[in-house]
């Protein structure tokens, strides 16, 4: 297959591209605007790969997107490009509306024009796979409740509302125009190459530097965590075997309270990085409770039985095994982290694209 991936320089997109280049014969075009979250250093190991190419473009730019489709002639689009950080969406929602809603609309329209002109065989085989989040469902309060594919949408943050809107657009383009779409809604991802503003890498890196480990509110918010490489495997299953028009929830069966995630990282660091910053007795001593995020969802938990039953996907990592791999990866890749923290990853990529 020839697959156009939007947002391939981000956390999940880069994991998907690394996975696809080593496990499939697919040809990949990575279309990414390279916002602060796009990092070509996460793709260093595939940049010379013969079946991989990169195009710096904005999904809200209809002309660039149409041209990319006409030239690359994809059999499928996997749409991951988005603004993805909840805190940033609270501070400045405009970029979320623009990329997540308008960008998805522009991409759908360009795709519809491209798809309509394909031969009947290619039209039938074509897939538009929209990658979304479990945050569209709002939050859960009962301890046994789980999000299923039919849970009503009730997003809480500007981020989740913009993702919910994009899901609705994708579904409407299937119902109205017959575009062959697939939607996946996934729980919190973690793993290598995660941008250090997100909880797990932030805690690892702050701990190593002896900085406070911020925990929102009482830290009792529950999230389901999925190792990013398990997500990449699930996405590949869905785009190649999923049934058109269907939604699949993807989750790790790993519900954890935020405070327990932070403590688990501290325990791993005690073992794997015992030489602590001067004067620090235990990494846990750095835990600092901070004012809760407005509108903070209490609990997310996902029922991923449909993708298991229908497509035979289950996660390979437990939270313990995935978190150990993640902490180890950060300890071995402090250079990658340093480039993100000092901004040099952005300077280098400007050189790469001019
Ligand atoms: N990270 C998670 O835990 C998680 C969980 C479920 C679903 N998702 C969804 O998966 C997708 C990828 O998430 P992520 O964590 O990899 O995000 P990310 O923020 O790490 O990466 C997003 C990528 O999209 C690119 N991008 C942003 N705006 C763009 C635009 N206008 N045009 C082209 N490219 C643009 C960025 O440069 C970046 O490379 C998102 O759609 C997100 O909503 C994420």
Report the percentage of the chain scoring pLDDT > 90: 89
Contacts with 229 (C-beta within 8 Å, 6 or more apart), sequence order: 15, 19, 191, 316, 317
d(CA 132, CA 100): 10
7 lines ligand 1 (CB under 6 A): yes
Contacts with 130 (C-beta within 8 Å, 6 or more apart), sequence order: 79, 104, 166, 167, 170, 181, 182, 183, 184
d(CA 141, CA 343): 40
* Probe residue for ligand 1, chosen from 10, 14, 104, 307 as the CB with the greatest number of ligand atoms within 8 Å: 10
- Grade residue 93 by pLDDT with cuts at 50, 70 and 90: very high
Tokens representing residue 125 in the block: 């085989």
Query: Given the structure tokens 């789980």, which residue do they identify?
Result: 146
Q: Whose Cα sits closest to atom 32 in ligand 1?
A: 58
305 lines ligand 1 (CB under 6 A): no
Q: Whose Cα sits closest to atom 22 in ligand 1?
A: 10
59 pLDDT higher than 50: yes
133 lines ligand 1 (CB under 6 A): yes
- Grade residue 3 by pLDDT with cuts at 50, 70 and 90: very high
Q: Which secondary-structure segment (H or E) carries 30?
A: strand 27-32
Strands 52-56 and 27-32: parallel
Instruction: Set out the domains of the chain in order of their start, with CATH numbers.
Output: 2-194+224-256+295-318 (3.40.50.720)
Q: Report, as residue numbers or ranges, the catalytic residues.
A: 134-135, 159
CA–centroid distance, 272 to ligand 1, in Å, is 30
Quick: pLDDT tens for 129-175: 999 999 999 988 877 789 999 999 999 999 999 999 999 999 999 99
CA–centroid distance, 81 to ligand 1, in Å, is 5
User: Please, are residues 33 and 8 in contact by the beta-carbon 8 Å criterion?
Assistant: no
Tokens representing residue 162 in the block: 């913009």
The conformational region for residue 73 under phi > 0 = left, psi -120 to 50 = alpha, else beta, is: left
CA–centroid distance, 37 to ligand 1, in Å, is 8
42 lines ligand 1 (CB under 6 A): no
- Grade residue 350 by pLDDT with cuts at 50, 70 and 90: low
Tokens representing residue 303 in the block: 């029922």
Contacts with 240 (C-beta within 8 Å, 6 or more apart), sequence order: 1
Strand order in the sheet with 76-79: 52-56, 27-32, 2-6, 76-79, 127-133, 181-186, 247-250
Q: Which pLDDT score, from 0 to 100, does residue 2 have?
A: 98
- Grade residue 197 by pLDDT with cuts at 50, 70 and 90: confident
Q: Which pLDDT score, from 0 to 100, does residue 348 have?
A: 59
Quick: pLDDT tens for 256-305: 999 999 999 999 999 999 999 999 999 999 999 999 888 888 888 999 99
Q: Whose Cα sits closest to atom 11 in ligand 1?
A: 80
For the ranges 232-236, 255-259, 342-346, which has the lowest average pLDDT?
A: 342-346
CA–centroid distance, 50 to ligand 1, in Å, is 25
37 lines ligand 1 (CB under 6 A): yes
- Grade residue 353 by pLDDT with cuts at 50, 70 and 90: very low
DSSP character for 58? -
d(CA 195, CA 227): 14
Q: Which pLDDT score, from 0 to 100, does residue 352 have?
A: 47
CA–centroid distance, 48 to ligand 1, in Å, is 23
Residues in the chain: 354
């Amino acid at each position: 297959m020839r697959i156009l991936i939007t947002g391939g320089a981000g956390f999940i997109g880069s994991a998907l591209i690394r996975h696809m280049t080593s496990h499939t014969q697919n040809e990949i075009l990575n279309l990414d605007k390279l916002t602060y979250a796009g990092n070509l250093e996460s793709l260093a190991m595939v940049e010379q790969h013969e079946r991989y190419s990169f195009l710096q473009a904005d999904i809200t730019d209809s002309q660039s997107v149409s041209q990319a489709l006409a030239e690359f002639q994809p059999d499928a689009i996997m749409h991951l490009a988005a603004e993805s950080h909840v805190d940033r969406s609270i501070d400045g929602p405009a970029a979320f509306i623009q990329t997540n809603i308008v960008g998805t609309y522009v991409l759908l329209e360009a795709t519809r024009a491209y798809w309509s002109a394909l031969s009947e065989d290619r039209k039938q085989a074509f897939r538009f796979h929209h990658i979304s989040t479990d945050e569209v469902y709002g939050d859960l309060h009962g301890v046994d409740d789980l999000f299923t594919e039919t849970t009503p949408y009730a997003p809480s943050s500007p981020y989740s509302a913009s993702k919910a809107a994009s899901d609705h657009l994708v579904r409407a383009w299937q119902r109205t125009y017959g575009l062959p779409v697939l939607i996946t809604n996934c729980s919190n991802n973690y793993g290598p190459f995660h941008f250090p503003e997100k909880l797990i890498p932030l805690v690892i890196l702050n701990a190593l530097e002896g900085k406070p480990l911020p925990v929102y509110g009482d830290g009792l918010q529950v999230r389901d965590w999925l190792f990013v490489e398990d997500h990449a495997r699930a996405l590949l299953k869905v785009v190649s075997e999923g049934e058109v028009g269907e939604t699949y929830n993807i989750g790790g069966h790993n519900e954890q309270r935020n405070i327990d995630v932070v403590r688990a990282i501290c325990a791993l660091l005690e073992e794997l990085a015992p030489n602590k910053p001067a004067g620090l007795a235990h990494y846990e001593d750095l835990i600092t409770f901070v004012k809760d995020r407005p509108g903070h969802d209490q609990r997310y938990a996902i029922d991923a039985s449909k993708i298991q039953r229908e497509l035979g996907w289950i996660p390979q990592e437990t939270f313990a095994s995935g978190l150990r791999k993640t902490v180890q990866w950060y300890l071995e890749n402090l250079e990658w982290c340093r480039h993100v923290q000092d901004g040099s990853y952005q300077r280098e990529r400007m050189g790469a694209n001019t």
